[in-house]
Structure 1
């Protein structure tokens, strides 16, 4: 399995774009990046590609400090000021590599069992869902009917029975990964480079009813995506202590 991690953005809502890459935020003396790598190693991931952009040299310095990892490489996205779909498009060759893909956002602090649940799921195409959803337009929502994914995105509508937050991790078989690569290319080519990647994913998820996206419930597990100062406070005060049984 080949992990793709997006770590190119400025994190404007967290630091007005003047800080450091969010994957270098520290918790318990370890950066998010160092934590990601340790967890991926423990779960047997064979390859990892990190898409970098904003202050990429700082990420490279952290990788050097962690120690040379022959299974990790980076791709530079010079258009990191644009939407996240451009960063995902930068990894299109990896999406087309013929490997199973583990997609990851870099700005998530989580219990390793969260990622383990996804990797070990019997669904080859799978996302995670946390039913403890805070209301509002920001969380990316996964909506289910009859246990099947029927809607996905920040703004959702329609007939569904359950809704939860998606933490930014996704597993795809090679066929679906290839389709996602093509979707990101279409978005960039058609003037939609300012958009996030979720609309491209949504297009792929619902294009073919024979290749459904499975879901694994992680409700009650400790995790947080860090976008705002309030998220950062909660990560330090609530989520990180929970990872140690606090």
Structure 2
């Protein structure tokens, strides 16, 4: 199992923290988001990681050289980070998507036990890590789950059909289904503007996609300065 971490964006909602550093190097509880992620992935049994950088990506490389992460890491540059959505970063790592992988956004901190349970969840093919929806937040990626499978994924999904929110983690046990769906989505006229969840939505239209419901373990998306305090306040 390898990880693909999407860390190319500028993180404008975290300004001024991201004026001089990429979002993944913002510190949360005394450690960068990236260091939190690599430690959790290693503890969860992931063997190596590919980090897709864009904005100030050379700083990510310098950080990795100094930090000595606990698992082998390869940094890939996404030169289209300023003109494409997150699907562009997935495309830059497409040669990794036939083997077993977990893909995650570079702005979310996870407890290792939550990731380990997601990777060990039973089932074949592609899965999306979700949690049951309580009160929806404006930036939530909403999901409809039925009979253990993903039916729909979108930020503008109607609240009367949304049952869960996505944690942004995709798990695949291998095969080319996800990569083929990625190519179909990004090849459309507006494909580069799609969030990477559009690949899951595409695949769910014609093949089973597992809903991996998050169990125990904290997680926190770091979108705004207040989110940093929310994670440290939970003892993470």
Same fold (TM over 0.5): yes
* Deviation at residue 185 of structure 1 after TM alignment: 2.7
**1:195 equivalent in structure 2:** 194
What is the SS of the residue equivalent to 1:190?
Answer: coil
CA–CA distance in structure 2, aligned partners of residues 56 and 234 of structure 1: 23
CA–CA distance in structure 1, aligned partners of residues 34 and 110 of structure 2: 12
**How many residue pairs were aligned?**
232
**1:44 equivalent in structure 2:** 45
Provide the aligned C-alpha RMSD in A. Answer: 2.4
* Deviation at residue 133 of structure 1 after TM alignment: 3.7
Alignment partner of 1:217 is 2:233: no
* Deviation at residue 54 of structure 1 after TM alignment: 0.7
CA–CA distance in structure 2, aligned partners of residues 224 and 95 of structure 1: 25
- Per-residue Cα deviation, 1:38-82 (whole angstroms, up to 9, x for no partner): 112222211211111110011111101112667210111100012
CA–CA distance in structure 2, aligned partners of residues 27 and 156 of structure 1: 31
CA–CA distance in structure 2, aligned partners of residues 214 and 123 of structure 1: 10
**1:95 equivalent in structure 2:** 97
| TM-score with structure 1 setting the length | 0.84
- Per-residue Cα deviation, 1:189-237 (whole angstroms, up to 9, x for no partner): 33321221111221012322xx33232233x74222122x3xx31331x
**2:23 equivalent in structure 1:** 22
- Per-residue Cα deviation, 1:87-121 (whole angstroms, up to 9, x for no partner): 1111110113xx21111111002222221220121
For structure 1, which runs of at least 5 residues remain unmatched after alignment? none
Alignment partner of 1:242 is 2:201: no
CA–CA distance in structure 2, aligned partners of residues 37 and 70 of structure 1: 7
CA–CA distance in structure 1, aligned partners of residues 185 and 205 of structure 2: 16
